[in-house]
Amino acid sequence: MSGGTQEKIGKRGRAAIVVLGDLGRSPRMQYHALSLARQASLQVDIVAYGGSDPHAALLENRSIHIHKMAQWPTVPKGLPRIIYPFMLLLKPLIQFFMLLWFLCVKIPSPDVFIVQNPPSVPTLVAVKWASRLRRSAFVVDWHNFGYTLLGLSLGRSSHFVAAYKWFEKHYGKMANGSLCVTKAMQHELAQNWEINATVLYDQPPEFFRPASLQEKHELFCRLNKDIVPLHGVYDCVSTGNLGIDTSDLHETLFTARNTSGTFLNPNRPALIVSSTSWTPDEDFGMLLEAAVMYDRRVAAILNEDDSTEKENFWKEINSGRQYPYPRLLFIITGKGPEREKYEEKIRRLHLKRVAFRTMWLSAEDYPLMLGSADLGVCLHTSSSGLDLPMKVVDMFGCGLPVCAVSFSCIEELVKKEKNGLLFSSSSELAEELLMLFKGFPNECDDLKSLRNGAMQTGSSARWDTEWEEHARPLISEVISKNST
């Protein structure tokens, strides 16, 4: 992101970012903070939970001050069911007073509060009260609708969901200004919520870009023990890598280095990356089913059986033979409640040409992984159908083509057969994998065409220019009106 040379916004020269969640897993709010500090020359206070580390750019910026709130403790299992309704009421009440303490006492008075929504309760209420007490402007950045997320677990007909929606709409309308992530959401807010929002599309910041060969090699060296574990995993990736000396790591599963330089291994697996929050709005089972279909269809095409399979993998690595369809390695990044459930399902698959690895990557390694992969897969379907997956934006920033689940507004981002493909079922995804990776790595023209399209999409717009054009004018306007 470029540094700003314009005058500061507001008389106090401060802004506050509010995230009732893990700051390290809230990239859009991190980018807001960087833009406010760099482009608007403001002091920025971030009030959020700890957990995952944010990007180093935030930690290194002296104008950004992070204030971590205590996490709500995990409710122990085995409690009587009658207690749960009280816990549902107690949690937002405690969060409300904690937020008020931080927003009204712990941080200096800002010119503007910018709050991430969802969650809506008690965040919008607390920020509205704090903005009144401190005579600050109040901007909501609508990422999605909180009531639709709650409806995934409680059902849309729940009284809790109805009450949540009322709070979200009532306090959302009290904001001095609103940002949102899609034109579809902008239309919904205007038509049914009486809220005029400015569309601020997610765009990748400067650290999302294609990785160089050297960066790929260093990344795979760092992650070698996670990708090719020494014990406990026996699949097409770990089997094929038994001949590699991992003590000095001149060679990894994907790259090698010699006196002539660094190069990609010609018999490497195709690397597919998917980032997930392991929540019900992402059907990870669809990806597992597609992997099983790919595995079986390739085995049928190659006329392979169980007795020859392991020998074929060994020969594939050492003989230099090019198979028409590659082995696939899926690296799934992210944290979330359903991760263990799906990891157990993965262990029971016993696939021959497909392997999975789940991991959490640092904010610095995640862009490098996207910039080193061959394809991205997005399973995000949106609880509201009105938001777009930021992970796809990041992938395009790294020049990575995408296969994404189709839903109502995804084509605002993924242009079919230009920068990615859409699918509605596991069988469609399996067909796309077979089409894109036939002849990998040198003769997969369809994949190369999509990569060129993703590179063009990623280079056409960046976060700092999008923020300067759409967010800065709105924030300046609401601060100006609030101060008069």
Q: What pLDDT is stored for residue 231 in this prediction?
A: 63
Token pair for residue 119? 């969650």
Confidence tier at 128 by pLDDT (50, 70, 90):
very high
pLDDT of residue 232: 61
pLDDT level of residue 248 (50, 70, 90 thresholds): low
pLDDT, position 323:
65
Of the CATH numbers 3.40.50.300, 3.40.50.2000, 1.20.1250.20, 2.60.120.1440, which one belongs to the domain with range 213-460?
3.40.50.2000
* Average pLDDT of the residues in 258-274: 91
pTM of the predicted model as reported, rounded to 2 decimal places: 0.84
pLDDT at 314: 39
* Residues 273-324: tens digit of each pLDDT: 998 878 777 888 899 999 999 999 998 887 755 444 444 443 444 444 556 8
- Over residues 131-189, the pLDDT tens digits come to 999 999 999 999 999 999 888 888 888 888 999 999 999 999 999 999 999 999 999 99
Average pLDDT rounded to a whole number, residues 8-36: 92
Q: With 90 as the cut, is the pLDDT of residue 329 above it?
A: yes
Give CA separation, 269 vs 18, 241, 317, 355, 377, in Å: 42, 11, 10, 10, 16
CB-CB contact of 109 with 12 (8 Å):
yes
Q: In this structure, which amino acid lies at residue 304? A: E
The total number of residues written for the chain in this structure = 484
Higher-confidence residue of 280 and 47: namely: 47
Pairwise CA distance, residues 265 & 377, whole Å: 23
Kindly tell me if the per-residue pLDDT of 36 is higher than 80.
yes
**Cα 28 from chain centroid?**
10
Reported confidence tier of residue 239, pLDDT bands at 50, 70, 90: low
Residues 378-405, mean pLDDT to the nearest whole number: 92
For the cut 80, the answer to whether the pLDDT of residue 47 exceeds it is yes
- pLDDT number for residue 444: 92
Nearest to 138 by CA among 147, 127, 122: 127
Whether the predicted pLDDT of 14 surpasses 60: yes
- What does the pLDDT read at residue 246? 45
pLDDT at 261 over 70: yes
Tens-place pLDDT, residues 62-120: 999 999 998 876 666 666 767 666 776 788 889 999 999 999 999 999 999 999 999 99
Cα–Cα distances in angstroms (integers) from residue 113 to residues 39, 190, 365, in the given order: 17, 22, 30
SS3 412: helix
Q: Is the pLDDT of residue 51 over 90?
A: no
Output the CA–CA distances (angstroms, integers) from residue 438 to 325, 385, 426, 447, in the order listed. Answer: 5, 33, 18, 9
Q: Which fold has domain 14-203+463-483?
A: Rossmann fold (3.40.50)
| Confidence class for position 243, pLDDT limits 50, 70, 90 | very low
Longest Cα separation, the chain: 79
Which of 4-8, 163-167, 248-252 is the most confident on average?
A: 163-167
What local confidence, expressed as pLDDT, does residue 319 receive?
45
Q: Where are the alpha helices (DSSP H) in 173-264?
A: 183-192, 213-222, 224-227, 236-240
Q: Coil, helix or strand for 127? A: helix
CA–CA separation, 483 vs 464, rounded Å?
Answer: 26
Q: What is the mean pLDDT of the chain?
A: 88
Q: How far apart are CA 409 and CA 193, in angstroms?
A: 19
Q: Residue 85: what residue type?
A: P
pLDDT in tens, 334-364: 888 888 888 888 888 889 899 999 998 988 9
pLDDT at 1: 53
Please tell me the distance from the alpha carbon of residue 112 to that of residue 17, in angstroms, as a whole number. 9
In the chain, % of residues over pLDDT 90: 62
> Residue 198: which H helix or E strand, with range?
strand 197-199
User: For residue 373, what pLDDT is reported?
Assistant: 97
Q: Alpha-carbon torsion 90, 92, 98, 104, what sign?
A: negative
- Phi and psi for 181 in degrees, rounded to 5? -100, -15
**Average pLDDT rounded to a whole number, residues 8-34:** 92
Domain range summary for the chain, segments of one domain joined by +: 14-203+463-483, 213-460
User: pLDDT class for 57, splitting at 50, 70, 90?
Assistant: very high
